[in-house]
Amino acid sequence: MLDGMDSFIYALVLAPAMRELLPNSGIEATPANVAFAGSILFALFLLGWGLSFLWGPVADRFGRARCLAATILVFSIFTGAAALAHSVWQLGLFRFLAGIGIGGEWAMAGTYVAESWPDRAEERYSSGETAMIRFVRRLSAHSIAR
């Protein structure tokens, strides 16, 4: 749920953040550069998310519960660090590492749910999770718009 909210808030603050960070990185903050840098940063986050398979061997060695806690910690630390970025390069690194954390969390949490719920309930869980993400996005947009 929080990763859906993270993506929504990221989209809301993207343009103002890029207008501040691009000049700090030696890049002119034109609308085209803002859009291009924002796209690259979001792609880096998704690339990190795609590397979630790296957590599999870690979970095999240290256990899924500890590894799940580690993925949440990695996501939290690097999402928080993104607020402290002084350049677009730092933000890209932090978003990439946050993506690795959330990708591992999704994979492991999904495995826990699939193992613990009866087969007939999995479809309801999946659609319920999607509905919850939409609800949180709307709630966030409503809260931010005020």
| DSSP notation for 50-62 | HGGGGHHHHHHHH
> What's the pLDDT tens digit per position in 80-138?
999 999 999 999 999 999 999 998 988 888 777 777 766 666 566 666 666 666 666 66
pTM over 0.85? The answer is no
Contact between residue 74 and residue 101 where contact means Cβ atoms under 8 Å apart: yes
Measured distance CA(123)–CA(30) in Å, rounded: 45
Topology of the domain comprising 2-145:
Growth Hormone; Chain: A; (1.20.1250)
Domain residue spans of the chain: 2-145
Higher-scoring residue by pLDDT: 45, 124: 45
Per residue in 2-24, pLDDT (tens digit) is 566 777 777 788 888 999 999 99
